Amino acid sequence: MMSSPIQCPPVSRVVIFGGTHGNEMSGVTLVKHWLKDPSELHRKTFEPEPCLANPLAVEKCVRYIDSDLNRSFSEEVLSSSESESDPYEFKRARELNQKYGSGPGLFDFVFDLHNTTSNMGATLLRCSEDDILSLHLAKYLQSSSGNQSMPCYNYLIDIPKKDNVYLQNIGKHSLCLELGPQPQGVIRADVLTRMRELVNCGLDFLDLFNQGKEFPSFETDIYKVLTRVDYPRDHSGEISAFIHSGLQDKDYVPLKPGDPIFTTINGEVLHCNGDTVVYPTFINEAAYYEKKVAFILTEKVSRKVPALKLETLEHHV
């Protein structure tokens, strides 16, 4: 499909974050296990480091203590001087950035493990359209990790790096695994097992890449964020209509103009009033009520991805 493969340097420093949100239990449970016994993570070319991102929130089994850690990695927060009055998560964001995301300590790859209460399957969430390494990793997971009962979806929130407030922004390359449905504070064995498979498969990919395996060009479907949709609200700001049963659990299912999306407590139905087919995601996500998001609309786009190979010494000459 394309000539001239993209060359990337080897991936030698890898961190796996769990507990960025302290009540998303798959990542919390896996990272706690790997901190006790990291042998499963060992690869020929690197040793990944597991890390509990928000230990106080994990201890209390809550999403966060003062503010959402996964919205705390803005340039403003990371560059500002620390104050006693700062939210705990701002202080923690600076600690994590100092250890994994700055100067000579910058990590090559960040895995960030999350759960969602929405029916999102295994969502491979990226924040950079131009991260070719993570695109190839996502393709590898889609084709190599099996388990078709929880398929992988390639998901893009395309954000300029200067505006990116997410934890995964601190590494050179990154991938967020967003698996669901799983209630907050609950461990589901099937979701936990699937996340474990995906992390190990992702580490295998990076190990193969480091050993010189070339990955061919390909074409893939990507669900790219268009807009966030709030619930209907009354004059006092209270939610006045809820997700319609015809939309509930239909993440990634095409939403057509005229389809029902909300219903009131008295049975009045509100319909989709757009003029194109879109793909709803994070439908009725519990953690997004506070963010005034009922669901996130995406478009499905096709992307041609160039081949990938390990950067050679000649590349520097």
- How far is residue 121's CA from residue 60's CA, in Å, rounded to a whole number? 26
- How far is residue 71's CA from residue 89's CA, in Å, rounded to a whole number? 9
Residue 219 in tokens: 């074409």
> Which long-range contacts does 246-249 make (Cβ < 8 Å, 24+ apart)?
247/280, 247/283, 247/295, 248/283, 248/284, 249/118, 249/119, 249/181, 249/283
Indicate which residues carry an active-site annotation: 178
Three-state secondary structure call for residue 83: coil
Q: Is 214 annotated as a binding residue?
A: no
Q: Is 136 annotated as a binding residue?
A: no
- How far is residue 16's CA from residue 49's CA, in Å, rounded to a whole number? 6
Residue 160 in tokens: 């300029």
Q: Which ranges of 22-128 would DSSP assign to H, the alpha helix? A: 25-36, 55-60, 75-79, 88-100
Q: Is 21 annotated as a binding residue?
A: yes
Instruction: Return binding residues for Zn(2+).
Output: 21, 24, 114
Report the binding-site residues.
21, 24, 114
